[in-house]
Amino acid sequence: MEPDRHDPAASQRQALLAAFGIRPDGGVAAGGSGARGAEDPAELTVELDEASLLLSAVLRPGVDIMGWLVVLDELAARCPSPTREAIIAHIVAAGFTGPTEEYGRWQHSCLDRVLETRVGLPISLAVVAIELGRRLGVELVGVGMPAHFLVGDANDPEWFADPFHHGQILDRSGCRQLFEELIGDRLGWSDGLLAPVNRRQIMLRALNNLKGGCLRFGDRLEFAQVMDIRAALPEFAHEHGERARSFAVFN
């Protein structure tokens, strides 16, 4: 089915699903091109910044995707030097930080809002760092530690950064200490929790944050939109019934 050209959100939804390799008919597309790892069905077919902004545009129709990509370009151009430490320090100096209230609000997961307000969840700030790194030739990666997303170095498994906490640089023991402060004894520690995650995994975790945040704050319309995206992805195929219930807001 062709997207409704009079409904920008529908077009952005289709573009976002295409980034996940989902065809308009709901089938899984063959590997594409245009982004690193695009031939891998377990990876996105676009870069992380574009995928993040497409998700924002579904939730916030009218988002100027190209305009915000330029904002990232300009932010990267102002970084004093192309090193991992300089990128993290540059983000902190630019005022990026975590929310002091209403932590899980869906707006804190929208890259355009994060770039505008300089406030975001750990994973959103990590996306900014990763995308600045890509523009500057520094291969930063997402680190999907439970309870608190971090930034890592693809070429140094002992280096981690936490843009959320004022750009703190951590080693493995520092990450474990942070993890135990947040989790307590609810989950045992293993170094595998610091494994890097790919772009698709980052977007899936962002969708988890959005689902939880919308539920927590009672944002029914955004919850239905998030569930609509999730239900189209194989990782969330078990949620079809929950998607149907969420669409009651449109009745």
Write the pLDDT tens digit of every residue in 207-245: 999 999 999 999 999 999 999 999 999 999 887 666 656
Cβ distance 176 to 190 under 8 Å? Answer: no
> Residue 189: which residues within 8 A CB-CB, separation 6 or more?
176, 179, 180
| Amino acid in the structure at residue 240 | H
Burial state string for 43-72 with b = 16 or more CB within 10 A and e = fewer than 16: bbbbbbbbbbbbbbbbbbeebebeebbeeb
Q: Where residue 27 falls among pLDDT bands split at 50, 70, 90? A: confident
H or E element in which residue 240 lies: helix 240-246
Instruction: Tell whether the torsion through CA atoms of 220, 223, 228 and 234 is positive or negative.
Output: negative
Q: What ranges in 138-246 are assigned the alpha helix state H?
A: 172-183, 199-217, 220-231, 240-246
Cβ distance 8 to 57 under 8 Å? Answer: yes
Write the pLDDT tens digit of every residue in 167-206: 999 999 999 999 999 998 889 999 999 999 999 999 999 9
The mean-pLDDT minimum among 34-38, 93-97, 126-130 falls in: 34-38
Closest CA to 161 of 147, 178, 146: 178
CA distance 62 to 84: 33
The pLDDT of residue 65 is 97
Q: What mean pLDDT comes out for the span 107-118?
A: 97
